[in-house]
Amino acid sequence: MPVGFQYGAVMPFTDTDVQIQKGDCLYMFSDGYADQFGGPDEKKFMMARLRSLLCEISVKPTDEQKQILDDTIENWKGNTEQIDDILVMGIKI
């Protein structure tokens, strides 16, 4: 659901309770990373690839995670123009 303006039917937001423990990592991100075109076939990065990447890097120190995320999207984009804003925010409990 978009937070701002929306066309069409309004769908209600849903609440989800999540049990967290010390050492867990929580990530919030915009659609910009997953929607970025690039790679060998100039396709979108896609949400499944982003989730997989976040799972892989979650055990690394946060500064290394940032570098991996930066390098990955830059390599993915190649010479393709960035099409949207990109936000990835991580919080370690």
Q: What is the pLDDT of residues 13-70, one digit of tens each?
A: 789 999 999 989 999 999 999 999 999 999 999 999 999 999 999 999 999 999 999 9
Residue 10 or 79, more confident: 79
Q: What angle do CA 85, 83, 40 make, to 5 degrees?
A: 120
Residue 60: which domain range? 25-92
The answer as to whether 16 is a domain residue is no
Domains held by the chain: number: 1
| Assigned domain for 10 exists | no
Q: For residue 90, report the phi and psi dihedrals to the nearest 5 degrees.
A: -120, 145
Q: Is residue 19 part of a domain?
A: no
- pLDDT computed for residue 1 by the predictor: 60
In-domain check, residue 79? yes
- Is the overall model pTM greater than 0.85, yes or no? no
> What would the pLDDT profile of 43-58 be if each residue is shown by its tens digit?
999 999 999 999 999 9
Residue 76: its H or E element: helix 62-77
Residue 50's Cβ-count burial label (10 Å; 0-12, 13-18, 19+) is: buried
Residue 13 falls within a domain, yes or no? no
Residue 84 lies inside a defined structural domain of this protein: yes
Tokens of 24: 């867990």
- Residue 63: φ, ψ to 5°: -65, -35
Q: Does residue 68 form part of some domain?
A: yes
56 occurs within a structural domain = yes
Phi then psi for 29, rounded to 5 degrees? -155, 155
